Amino acid sequence: MKPGIKTFSVMCLAAVLLVIWSGAQYADAPKIQLPKYTRAVLPNGMIVLLMERHELPLVNFRWVLKSGGSIGDPAGKEGVAALTAGLLRKGTTGRTADQIASALDFVGATYEANAALEFSAGSAELLKKDAPLGVEMIADMLMHPVFPQDEVVKLREQSIDAIKEAKSVPGQIIQNYFAGALYGSTLYGRPVGGTEKSLATISRDDVVRFYQTHYAPNQLMLVAVGDFAAPEMERLVRGKFGTWEKIDVTSPAVSDQTSAQGHHFLLVEKPDSTQTFFRIGNVGLARTSADWIPLDVVNTLFGGRFTSLINSALRIKSGLTYGADSFFSSRRARGAFTIASYTPNETTEKAIEMTLDVLKQFRQQGITEEQLQSAKAYIKGQFGLSIETNDELAETVSSMEFYGLPSDYIDTYFDKIDALTLARANEMVQKYYPSENLVFVLIGKRDVIEPVAKKLGGETKIKSIVDEGF
């Protein structure tokens, strides 16, 4: 889907389900069912979610720290949440970084952790016989990190270099510019990984302070999916995490951003660019909105599949790009609606005007019953073609818990798709696909992108790709 940790879209959820077909035809309304799992809350507030699956001798873990997102970064210290998550495996009170790496490598385990906008998360995969080691090491890294000074400096410098390198490939960082242009200085406008300037100011003390004020068991959920007995796994988790004492954590409140009015352009000059990368959009909806599933169906038509309206126009029919899509970002408050593509310099104006034409026609013409049924069938087809895996199921369960989605969310997913009427679908078009009030971010040669902004009109800001930040 999109930058950063996967942002929990319905399409991502669709890829991980156990599908039980009740008939050979779509008309027979296939049923979907999420495998059963248990939920326990430890005395210290930690949530434990356990799903047994015995097909393979593997166990996958996923932890999510609700207070660990980059929205908790202090002003001017953007990137500290990302550094903190990245440093967890760089040494604990009982293991050095090398010992952690060796222990994981010895059993063939995988482990990673990073920060997203609203949370931090980590995942691990181990053989069944090594699952107790997995619980032990995850607990050790979360409860007893030491953040060695040399590792802090190393990761900080690597992160700064990574931002500079990414700016040579605009597709890797344009979403950071778009978030900044759309949300400004608010929490959702912050780059998760920080900026060259903010990272340079972060010290070990900043990392330790973030850890001490944000990492707590009462903010943590641990999901395990795989070949184990749930009672035994719960006993292991309680034994390793039960002594971690909860603390009061103050998380920043997120609020809905007001939609942008009129045209707003951010032009990012990259003199050597042979292509223009662009994002167009506005503020969308919260992940918990009742409109999320209906909108997922509608967006499948507009920009969510290869034969979508936007990709058909820009790629299949005109050859202006190798790909164009649209998506709605999953957030607790209103996330972004984004149209994304790129095109050679010489077709920049044509590609952007065509994008706006498709958007305008979508609003004017709406969708037909035939298109609606096509989108429904496509989404259901993705369920049937998917191969559910432990790690995907762990992400699905943690997503439902994080956003507070109902326990039958997956089991009733097809019911909600089937219940979507043409009238409601066209309401979604009018509500979430603006054609006049739009934020534009263009990265490319100034003499190519500036005339486009002048022709379309609106507030325009210009930056250079070599400027610090986004």
Alpha-carbon span 378 to 131, nearest angstrom: 37
Give the mean model confidence (pLDDT) for residues 255-282.
Answer: 97
237 and 292 in a common domain: no
Domain tally for the chain?
2
Residue 278 pairs in a beta bridge with 341, 442
218 and 166 in a common domain: yes
| Phi, then psi, of 252 in degrees rounded to 5 | -65, 140
191 and 302 in a common domain: no
Q: Is the pLDDT of residue 21 over 80?
A: no
Residue 382 identity (one-letter amino acid):
Q
pLDDT of amino acid 388: 79
Give the mean model confidence (pLDDT) for residues 167-192.
Answer: 96
pLDDT of amino acid 381: 85
Q: Is the pLDDT of residue 23 over 50?
A: no
Instruction: Look at residue 274 and tell me if it is in a domain.
Output: yes
209 and 351 in a common domain: no
pLDDT of amino acid 30: 59
pLDDT of amino acid 329: 98
For residue 363, give the nearest of 413, 291, 279, 301 by alpha carbon: 301
Q: Select the more confidently predicted residue: 438 or 388.
A: 438
Q: Is the pLDDT of residue 157 over 80?
A: yes
Instruction: Look at residue 249 and tell me if it is in a domain.
Output: no
211 and 314 in a common domain: no
pLDDT of amino acid 12: 36
Domain boundary among 241, 275, 294: 241
CATH code: domain of residue 94: 3.30.830.10
Q: Is the pLDDT of residue 379 over 50?
A: yes
How far is the first Cα of the chain from the last one, in angstroms, to the nearest whole number?
A: 21
Alpha-carbon span 366 to 103, nearest angstrom: 57
pLDDT of amino acid 32: 82
Give the mean model confidence (pLDDT) for residues 102-110.
Answer: 97
pLDDT class for 387, splitting at 50, 70, 90?
Answer: low
Task: Find the domain containing 133 and state its range.
Answer: 34-241
107 and 149 in a common domain: yes
Please give the helix or strand (H or E) that residue 356 lies within, else none. helix 348-365
Q: Is the pLDDT of residue 349 over 80?
A: yes
39 and 95 in a common domain: yes
pLDDT of amino acid 383: 66
293 and 229 in a common domain: no
Q: Is the pLDDT of residue 13 over 50?
A: no
Instruction: Look at residue 2 and tell me if it is in a domain.
Output: no
Instruction: Look at residue 385 and tell me if it is in a domain.
Output: yes
Q: Select the more confidently predicted residue: 42 or 12.
A: 42
Q: 273-329: per-residue pLDDT in tens?
A: 999 999 999 999 999 999 999 999 999 999 999 999 999 999 999 999 999 999 999
pLDDT of amino acid 251: 86
Structure tokens that stand for 293 in this block: 């599933």
What contacts 150, CB < 8 A, 6 or more positions away? none
Three state DSSP letters for 165-204: HHCCCHHHCHHHHHHHHHHCCCHHHCCCCCCHHHHHCCCH
Q: Is the pLDDT of residue 179 over 60?
A: yes
19-47 burial, b if ≥16 CB within 10 A, otherwise e? beeeeeeeeeebebebeebeeeebebebb
Lowest mean pLDDT among 16-30, 328-342, 351-365: 16-30
Per the prediction, the chain carries an average pLDDT of 93
Instruction: Look at residue 50 and tell me if it is in a domain.
Output: yes
pLDDT of amino acid 33: 87
292 and 168 in a common domain: no
281 and 216 in a common domain: no
pLDDT of amino acid 382: 83
Structure tokens that stand for 99 in this block: 């010992």
419 and 382 in a common domain: yes
Q: 413-435: per-residue pLDDT in tens?
A: 999 999 999 999 999 999 999 99
Q: Is the pLDDT of residue 10 over 50?
A: no
pLDDT of amino acid 294: 98
For residue 391, give the nearest of 51, 46, 43 by alpha carbon: 51
- CB contact at 8 A, 194 and 161: no
Instruction: Look at residue 84 and tell me if it is in a domain.
Output: yes
Instruction: Give me the percent of the chain exceeding a pLDDT of 90.
Output: 90
CA angle (127, 129, 133) in 5-degree steps? 85
| Phi, then psi, of 162 in degrees rounded to 5 | -65, -35
pLDDT of amino acid 1: 35
Instruction: Look at residue 11 and tell me if it is in a domain.
Output: no
Instruction: Look at residue 286 and tell me if it is in a domain.
Output: yes
Q: Select the more confidently predicted residue: 248 or 385.
A: 248
Give the mean model confidence (pLDDT) for residues 251-265.
Answer: 94
Please classify residue 87 by burial: count the beta carbons closer than 10 Å to its beta carbon, then call 0-12 exposed, 13-18 middle and 19+ buried.
buried
Q: Is the pLDDT of residue 170 over 50?
A: yes
pLDDT class for 137, splitting at 50, 70, 90?
Answer: very high
pLDDT of amino acid 4: 37
Q: 46-86: per-residue pLDDT in tens?
A: 999 999 999 999 999 999 999 999 999 999 999 999 999 99
Q: Select the more confidently predicted residue: 388 or 198.
A: 198
284 and 198 in a common domain: no
